[in-house]
Amino acid sequence: MSYTYEECKATADWLMAQTDIRPRIGIVCGSGLGGLANLLKDQVVFNYRDIPNFPQSTVHGHAGRLVFGTLKGRPCVCMQGRFHLYEGYPIQKITLPIRIFKLLGVDTVILTNAAGGLNQDFKVGDIMIMKDHINMPGFAGNNPLSGPNDERFGTRFPCMSDAYDRELQQLAMEVGQELGYGDFLREGVYCVLSGPSFETIAECRMLHRLGADAVGMSTVHEVIVARHCGMRVFALSLITNQAVMDYDSEEKANHEEVLQTGKQRSEQLERLVSTLVTRIEHNNIYA
Ligand SMILES: O=P(O)(O)O[C@H]1O[C@H](CO)[C@@H](O)[C@H]1O
Ligand SMILES: Nc1nc2[nH]cnc2c(=O)[nH]1
């Protein structure tokens, strides 16, 4: 099921009728990383269940609230909870909020996620700046842009070689160094799978050989839709667990560990994002 431009606009107009905040930055919080939304001042909060056309959050660690407010003076909108393919939603429904962001006036999207580390140099607690992605469900025909294309959102065949804004990656690296995060700040390639089962050992080995540094079940669909409609994208993965690559290992991936690592690193991740938001303003990267 696909949403028409008019349906997306109706949801955006409904939201804009209830708040004067006109966000230029849209933030999506990953598993256990919803604390970012609490940094917003002068909040106007909507439960997803009250927003026309919105799906509901079903995953522990995703609160299901859309929070408008200001972050260091910048008007922002923040998804405290995202949607995943494994929740059973059509891929176009998962990414609906990104188009709503666009129609609200957002031009820069910042996404966070929890991910398993495939790169053997990565440690649990590392923050990885996403420089690229591998869209595994897309290889099997599951792309959020499948179906009729509405040119009011974007072109039929959008380019993805520039999906992740290089200036923002550079800026985030600088901000991270200044904050003293150099020891746990990385960059790399994120691979999305549909989940909800975690990977087998053979799958982790394969993904690593294919060039992925981290694996998760989100973000990429949102990035594709954001780029399709011309928004700038910056994304971070928190490495919440090491992917199991060795048959002698006793490690077992589990969602509790994912949420636990999120708690341990949330303060630094929040500071990195909020400082980045301030620098976007200072550097006047905005059009
Ligand atoms: O990508 P986010 O939403 O951070 O969540 C990640 O954490 C969950 C698994 O623990 C999966 O949903 C995976 O995608
Ligand atoms: N697919 C996947 N998603 C995750 N989210 C957090 N950790 C993981 C992981 O190891 N694999």
pLDDT, tens only, 117-136: 999 999 999 999 999 999 99
Tokens of 143: 């792309």
Q: Active-site residue 114, yes or no?
A: yes
User: What sign has the CA pseudo-torsion 100, 103, 106, 107?
Assistant: positive
Q: Active-site residue 197, yes or no?
A: no
CA proximity to 78, closest of 53, 42, 114, 52: 42
pLDDT per residue over 225-249, tens digit each? Answer: 999 999 999 999 999 999 999 998 9
What is the structure's pLDDT at 60? Answer: 82
What is the structure's pLDDT at 281? Answer: 62
Q: How confident is the model at residue 198 (pLDDT cuts 50, 70, 90)?
A: very high
Q: How confident is the model at residue 282 (pLDDT cuts 50, 70, 90)?
A: very low
Q: How far apart are CA 171 and CA 64, in angstroms?
A: 30
| Sequence-ordered list of residues with C-beta below 8 angstroms from that of 103, at least 6 positions apart, any chain | 8, 9, 11, 12
Q: Active-site residue 173, yes or no?
A: no
Is 74 part of any domain? yes
- For every residue of 217-245, DSSP letters joined together read SSSHHHHHHHHHTT-EEEEEEEEEEEPP-
Quickly count helices (H) and strands (E) in the chain: 8, 9
Ligand 2, CB within 6 Å, residue ranges: 114-116, 193, 195, 198-199, 215-217, 240-241, 243, 253, 258
pLDDT per residue over 6-56, tens digit each? Answer: 999 999 999 999 999 999 999 999 987 888 899 999 999 999 999 998 988
**Domain containing residue 181:** 5-280
Is 286 part of any domain? no
> Domain total for the chain?
1
Tokens of 84: 């995943």
Reported ipTM: the value is: 0.98
- Chain center to CA of 254: 20
Cα–Cα distances in Å, from 273 out to 94, 184, 226, 236, 246?
Answer: 23, 15, 18, 9, 34
Q: Compute, in angstroms, the gap from residue 84 CA to the centroid of ligand 2.
A: 12
In three-state secondary structure terms, 74 is strand
Is 103 part of any domain? yes
Is 83 part of any domain? yes
149 φ/ψ angles, rounded to the nearest 5 degrees:
-100, 130
Q: How far apart are CA 179 and CA 147, in angstroms?
A: 44
Is 231 part of any domain? yes
Closest ligand 1 atom, CA of 30? 4
Quick one: DSSP state of residue 179?
Answer: T
Is 138 part of any domain? yes
Residue 123 sits in a domain whose CATH number is 3.40.50.1580
Residue type, 166: R
Q: How far apart are CA 66 and CA 21, in angstroms?
A: 13
- Say which ligand is closest to the CA of 237: 1
Is 54 part of any domain? yes
Q: Active-site residue 218, yes or no?
A: yes
Is 262 part of any domain? yes
Q: Compute, in angstroms, the gap from residue 46 CA to the centroid of ligand 1.
A: 22
- Say which ligand is closest to the CA of 191: 2
User: What sign has the CA pseudo-torsion 254, 256, 257, 258?
Assistant: positive
Q: Which of 84, 133, 208, 221 is catalytic?
A: 84
- Per the CB < 8 A criterion, the answer to whether 236 and 269 are in contact is yes
Question: Cis (ω within 30 of 0) for the bond into 196?
Answer: yes
Write down the pTM of the prediction: 0.95
Q: Compute, in angstroms, the gap from residue 218 CA to the centroid of ligand 1.
A: 7
